[in-house]
Amino acid sequence: MDFLKEIKRRRTFGIISHPDAGKTTLTEKLLLFGGAIQEAGAVKSNKIKKGATSDFMEIERQRGISVATSVLAFVYKDKKINILDTPGHKDFSEDTFRTLTAVDSVIVVIDVAKGVEEQTEKLVEVCRMRKIPIIVFINKLDREGKDAFDLMDEVEQKLGLRVTPLSIPIGMGYDFKGIYNIWEKNIQLFQDESKQIIGKKEHFKSLDAPELETKIGAISLNNLKDELELIEGVYPPFNQQEYLDGTLQPVLFGSALNNFGVQELLNCFIEIAPEPLAKQSDTRLVKPDDKNFTGFVFKIHANMDPKHRDRLAFIKIVSGTFERNKPYHHVRLNKKLKFSSPNAFFAEKKQIVDISYPGDIVGIHDTGNFKIGDTLTTGDILQFKGIPSFSPEHFRFINNNDPLKSKQLAKGINQLMDEGVAQLFTLDLNGRKVIGTVGALQFEVIQYRLLNEYGAKCNFENLNVYKACWIEANDDSTDFIEFQRIKQKFLAKDKSGKLVFLADSAFSLQMTQEKFKEVKFHYTSEY
């Protein structure tokens, strides 16, 4: 199959939501309907059933939450689909923000009972800033929840989106009868069935089918007709270009746990979702059909298999083809590298691939050559933009509990920081190591992984820091020299050696900014 056809087959998207909205369950059911797995796993905290395919880390299986982005791929109706299932918990949101640099579109999952939640707002804000096409999937229709129109109003007001429904539920919770699919102009009735395997559904092509009234009742049928009339009058018709431009967001309803509305979502998605998109570099816009290979590292995961101590760098291919045993230029290190066993991810299995195309995610074994944001090319020298580190919200000193394991602790911290699990700052004054995270739960994950993967014991000590600010200034300016002298005990270096100011309060930061006008303070490392 030729190069351009392969590009057009690709669909790479992320699934984002607040915790417990059903994101990982939806991922499982997309794999199920895509034929990638025969039986869907459950996302339970006790994990007594088959575990979710995308929750592969031991700590995820214990807690029943996703703490790392996982990559899953399958072929459906001749389309190669790459799913990035992201953590929903706010404590792991930096992993999600970075993952959004590698997707061409997203599906936002919203719980029908809880509506739009805080974490959803933050994630959608990032998508809107990047103009990523969004599909909204309102989940858990089999439970009592808010009215469909109230939910769509909430999505518009809280998320600042302009929505148009492509399906509408018939009833809700105990009265849930099924879904009218506006996109395919048909009705699917709900039958309580096994949640783990695909069952048969009843379809009705027309609202006037005589047996439909028998099935759902005259009241439900009349309500449905009124609602469809209302949708036609109130919401804009679906326009694919507006969706691709990020100015219109289609809404679909369903129940992922009950396999309901998932296939409709998948069918709609492969028709409307974008093919691999162009990406801006520091020199030019790189298009997928450029013959020269370009790609960037958006995630690093150490110890995916703790027995083998392997470390994978996840590369999103932007243009050209990625082939086994071919030399590629590592821009930051300015050296050529070859990869003998690049992995593609098919459900829970890794598989060595000979060739990959734009839109694909490739995992390559890394011996310490990669950092998040690194670019690989075969043609011109360029660097992709837009993978910053954000200012953490929690800061703690890290202390070694076992002096005999100092090397293991240092190695573990370095590898976990390369993954982007958290950020490491070294104080200029005394060289003490400070870990900064987006959420407090990350400290627990770091401690657990250091012990279980590196055999290193550590503890954390509270540190009163309000915000980390990356410093930009002229080294010779008197303002900057004075700033360094006065604020010496609040200065640190990040992992890349950049100077960071650890402000102890909002007031202190404001006063410092006012006093030292020639010093610029940035809340992300990519300024």
Take residue 98 and report the two structure tokens written for it. 């970075």
Per the structure, the count of domains in the chain is 3
In a shared domain, residues 233 and 306 = no
Which pLDDT belongs to residue 56? 43
SS3 of 363, please? strand
Take residue 226 and report the two structure tokens written for it. 């009124």
**If you write DSSP's letter for every residue of 153-183 in order, what string do you get?**
HHHHHHH---EEESEEEES-GGG--EEEETT
Take residue 321 and report the two structure tokens written for it. 């083809």
CATH number reported for the structural domain that contains residue 307 in this entry:
2.40.30.10
Global pTM value:
0.78
Please write the tens of the pLDDT for every residue from 20-78: 777 778 888 888 877 766 554 444 333 334 445 444 445 444 444 333 446 788 888 88
Q: Over 90: is that where the pLDDT of 128 sits? A: no
Q: Which of 272, 304, 337 is the last residue of a domain?
A: 272
In a shared domain, residues 428 and 481 = yes
In a shared domain, residues 89 and 110 = yes
SS3 of 416, please? helix
Phi then psi for residue 43, to 5 deg, are -105, 80
Containing H/E element for 462? strand 458-462
- Tell me the angle at which helices 148-159 and 118-129 cross, rounded to the nearest 10 degrees: 60
In a shared domain, residues 70 and 219 = yes
Spatial neighbors of 307 by CB under 8 A, at least 6 apart, are none
Confidence of residue 88 (pLDDT cuts 50, 70, 90): very low
Q: Which of 345, 377, 409 is the last residue of a domain?
A: 377
In a shared domain, residues 227 and 134 = yes
The rounded distance, in Å, linking the Cα atoms of 265 and 109 is 12
CB 220, CB 211: distance < 8 Å:
no
Residue 463 burial (CB < 10 Å; 0-12/13-18/19+)? middle
In a shared domain, residues 409 and 487 = yes
Top-confidence residue, 125 or 426: 426
What's the domain range around 22? Answer: 3-272
Top-confidence residue, 206 or 423: 423
Nearest of 109, 113, 36 to residue 265 by alpha carbon = 109
In a shared domain, residues 214 and 287 = no
SS3 of 27, please? helix
CATH number reported for the structural domain that contains residue 438 in this entry:
3.30.70.3280
Helices within 184-333 (DSSP H only): 210-216, 218-234, 240-244, 262-272
**Residue 527 belongs to some domain of the structure:** no
In a shared domain, residues 103 and 77 = yes
The rounded distance, in Å, linking the Cα atoms of 427 and 425 is 6
Nearest of 253, 194, 176 to residue 32 by alpha carbon = 194
Confidence of residue 214 (pLDDT cuts 50, 70, 90): confident
Please write the tens of the pLDDT for every residue from 146-175: 888 999 999 999 989 999 999 988 887 777
| Identity of the residue numbered 90 | K
95-123: average pLDDT: 84
Please write the tens of the pLDDT for every residue from 230-264: 888 899 999 999 999 999 999 999 888 888 888 88
Which pLDDT belongs to residue 68? 44
